[in-house]
Amino acid sequence: MASTTNAFSLSLSSKSNTNLSSDSNPKLNKPLNLTLRGSGSGSCELSLGRLALSRSSQLSRRVCPNATRVMDQSVGEKSSAAPTIVEVDLGNRSYPIYIGSGLLDQHELLQKHVHGKKVLVVTNTTIAPLYLDKVVDALTRGNPNVSVENVILPDGEKYKNMETLMKVFNKAIESRLDRRCTFVALGGGVIGDMCGFAAASFLRGVNFIQIPTTVMAQVDSSVGGKTGINHPLGKNLIGAFFQPQCVLVDTDTLDTLPDRELASGLAEVIKYGLIRDAKFFEWQEKNMEKLMARDPYALAYAIKRSCENKAEVVSLDEKESGLRATLNLGHTFGHAIETGFGYGEWLHGEAVAAGTVMAVDMSYRLGWIDSSIVKRVNDILLRAKLPTAPPETMTVEMFKSVMAVDKKVADGLLRLILLKGPLGNCVFTGEYDRKALVDTLAAFCKS
């Protein structure tokens, strides 16, 4: 544990834009009152064996003060329920994450975050037939002064590139949108990342709103302001940190999500447990079958708990100077799979799942975790029907060449997120025995 703490202190010492004083935010001292319905374990406590304990534990439970009442009322009243609210605390760039069923029917929720009179909805060919009309209705009902344009992009990670991004700019300019417009990202992580980067760059920055429609986007990519596109040589190499006005998670949109996409999102849910929230991991171990069966209460809890974890980390380290990098457990190996194997062949969460197994394997080779964790990670990923090894065509050389341009390389040194200590603890470090990395790559690649 001591060395774990040291590794974090080291990475945190170089960060900027982070305010560790809880005095500066009076909201932190609000009374907390939270009950969660339907969570299998009945527990939402955090394992917080690491830095900034007091602030984290306060932040971890910051939800809408009336969440308890609301969630009790909402049983059987799907479309009228007020949302659970998780706040992302970033000073004057703070914003709420609304989570609940039927939120797209509550038009005032969306409308209060629209700036100006013109809106551009950015979505894709899969989502547009399902939810575009609903979103346009939510934006315009009782609000006739707002005009809504849309741009429908091809669906898939392989289109997350400059060419597709230009379609958003073209539409925005043809529609004569000005600085007082609002972009709305309606879709999964690819749409959110591209729309966010377009909003960050159009006229040097306009407002935007995230309406994520996949588990992946709802638990991870829509929160925290990371936006961007891929380059043929690496994922997310071009982008911006740019925060939305709000994130609106209508859990009803998951009704149309394919099983494979559902499982992909669960890879990130599992990640939160592994890196910082052992209790949440244990809850997942008890409830994985419910999640896979789309039990609405289990899914709602998993989304809320994931957003709380993400919001905490982002609030402490918006620009990824240290702590935030831990959210990338399994992603360095995973990005290599996505880039090397071809964007879109595997879903992001599938690549992250295999990458997580590799990071866990390496952590074990370094002697940083015991074998029971290795087994539990493999078991839970298998139960989520996620891959536990990279595609057979991946070679050691493919991993190495993509990992060399990873954003976490600093002055030529590849830093990785690895588990260390009891379940729920990790490190972000470039100080590891290179042999363990070589051995892990050799163990998972045929050549």
Among 77, 178, 255, 433, binds a copy of itself (CB under 8 A): 178
Which lies closer to a copy of itself via its Cβ, residue 18 or residue 41?
18
Using the rule CB under 8 A, is 431 a contact of a copy of itself?
no
Could you give the residue ranges of the DSSP H alpha helices within 203-256? 215-216
Structure tokens at 203: 């006229």
Nearer to a copy of itself, 32 or 162 (CB): 162
Least distance (Å) between residue 240 CB and a copy of itself? 6
CB of 272 to a copy of itself, least distance (A): 22
Count of residues in contact with a copy of itself, rule CB under 8 A: 45
Q: How far apart are CA 44 and CA 23, in angstroms?
A: 25
Told to judge if 279 belongs to the known catalytic residues of this protein, a careful annotator would answer no
Q: Is 348 annotated in the active site?
A: yes
Binding a copy of itself by CB under 8 A: which of 134, 231, 376, 400? 231
C-alpha–C-alpha distance, residues 110 and 108, integer Å: 5
Residue list 274-333, contact with a copy of itself (CB under 8 A): 319-320
Residue 215 CB, shortest distance to a copy of itself, in Å, is 24
One-letter identity of residue 402:
V
204: annotated active-site residue: yes
Nearer CB in complex with a copy of itself: 163/392: 163
Q: How far apart are CA 444 and CA 148, in angstroms?
A: 49
**Interactions with a copy of itself, residue window 99-128 (CB under 8 A):** 116-118
Length of the chain counted residue by residue: 447
What does the block give as tokens for 302? Answer: 């998993």
Of 16, 21, 24, 372, the one binding a copy of itself by CB under 8 A: 16
Give the residue among 27, 28, 45 at the shortest CA–CA distance from 36. 45
DSSP codes joined into one string, 77-111: -GGGPPPEEEEE--GGG-EEEEEETTGGG-HHHHH
* Measured distance CA(288)–CA(255) in Å, rounded: 18
Closer CB to a copy of itself, 98 or 242, in the complex? 242
Which of these, 296, 328, 287, lies nearest to 310 by C-alpha position? 328
Say whether residue 239 binds a copy of itself (CB under 8 A). yes
Question: What is the nearest approach in angstroms of a copy of itself to the Cβ of residue 375?
Answer: 35
> Which positions from 381 to 410 touch a copy of itself by CB under 8 A, shown as an x/- string?
-----------------------xx-xxxx
The Cα–Cα gap between 5 and 427 comes to: 8
Q: Does 167 bind a copy of itself (CB under 8 A)?
A: no
Query: Judged by CB under 8 A, does residue 146 bind a copy of itself?
Result: no
Torsion of CA 167, 173, 177, 179, to 10 degrees: 100
Considering just the CA atoms, what is the radius of gyration of the chain in Å? 21
Collapsed DSSP state (helix, strand, coil) of residue 127: coil
Bridge partners for 369 per DSSP: none
**What's the CA gap between 84 and 168, in Å, rounded?**
31
Active site residue 113: no
Catalytic residue among 118, 171, 348, 407: 348
Distance CA 310, CA 313 (A): 5
Candidate list 26, 142, 176, 392; residue touching a copy of itself; CB under 8 A: 176
User: Catalytic annotation on 328?
Assistant: yes
Q: For residues 441 and 260, what is the distance between their CA atoms, to the nearest angstrom?
A: 26
As measured in angstroms, the least distance from the Cβ of 82 to a copy of itself is 29
Contact between 90 and a copy of itself per CB under 8 A: no
What are the residues binding a copy of itself (CB under 8 A)? Answer: 16-17, 92, 116-118, 162, 166, 169-170, 173-174, 176, 178-180, 197, 200-205, 226-228, 231, 233-234, 236-241, 319-320, 404-405, 407-412
Residues assigned a catalytic role:
204, 226, 268, 310, 320, 324, 328, 331, 335, 348
